[in-house]
Amino acid sequence: MNELLAVAAITVLAVISPGPDFAMVIRNSYAYGRASGLMAALGIACGVQVHVFYTVFGIAVIISQSPLLFVGMKVLGAGYLIYLGVSSLRNSSRWVLGEARGPMPSHWKAFRTGLLTNALNPKTMLFVVATYTQVVKAGSSMQVNFCYGLFMSLSHGVWFSVVALFFSAEGLRRRMLERQPIIDRCIGVALIGLGACLVMPAFSHA
């Protein structure tokens, strides 16, 4: 039971802490609407499973013992965040409630963005690896390990679905869309900053 409570506490704290997942879900929700935000949240939940699978099957050990491979993963993840940030800064499309302006992403594209944002996020990788190596007992069965992973995914999915529902509410969404250029730039700068913060320590210790 203590192990379960520890996993739950770490997961909740990791989920609610602001990061690239949070910024991306806000962006999708206020710009494209509730369905897009919820699909992005689903993508994030599935992205967690990517980290769970390679951690449970031991690939995380290889990454932790290969500095070059770890740096490569951090650069890849940071590059994707910076790409999302630059895309937000360069966005010139404007949306008005009730009007279809600009290209609306498909549900698959919203899901894929959420999946890649989380799967390429080294912070999520470190969270999952740390949870399994520091909290979960070495002798835990494969079924128990994957149940913990499922809990992590569900926690991410529920939290970011709530975020999507909140930021896609018509009143809040209308006010945010009226200030879309400013919000796009703030989110873009935040994503670029997060990407830079993730990649700079990797190079400084390489």
Burial of 127 (0-12, 13-18, 19+ CB in 10 A): buried
Q: What is the pLDDT of residue 106?
A: 87
Please state the separation of Cα 69 from the chain's center in Å. Answer: 21
Q: What contacts 52, CB < 8 A, 6 or more positions away?
A: 128, 146, 148, 149, 152, 153
Determine the pLDDT at residue 115: 95
Per residue in 78-121, pLDDT (tens digit) is 787 788 788 878 876 665 554 444 567 789 999 999 999 999 88
Separation between Cα atoms, residue 24 and residue 88, nearest integer Å: 10
- Is residue 17 left, alpha or beta, with left meaning phi > 0 and alpha meaning psi from -120 to 50? beta
**pLDDT band (50, 70, 90) for residue 203:** low
Distance between CA 118 and CA 160 in Å, rounded?
12
Q: How far apart are the first and last CA of the chain?
A: 39
Q: Name the residue among 11, 47, 50, 16 with its Cα closest to residue 160.
A: 16
Structural Rg of the chain based on CA atoms: 18
Token pair, residue 183, equals 């919000």
Q: Where are the alpha helices (DSSP H) in the chain?
A: 2-16, 20-32, 34-56, 59-65, 67-90, 107-119, 122-134, 142-167, 170-178, 180-204
pLDDT of residue 129: 78
C-beta neighbour count of 130 within 10 angstroms: 14
Residue 114's pLDDT is: 94
Structure tokens at 142: 């494969």
| pLDDT tens-digit readout, 111-155 | 999 999 999 887 788 778 777 766 666 667 788 888 888 999 999
Global pTM value: 0.71
Number of structural domains, the chain? 1
Token match 């926690």: residue?
155
Contact 27, 150 (CB under 8 A): no
- Give backbone dihedrals phi and psi of 124, rounded to 5 degrees, phi first: -70, -40
Q: Give me the domain span that covers residue 186.
A: 2-11+20-204
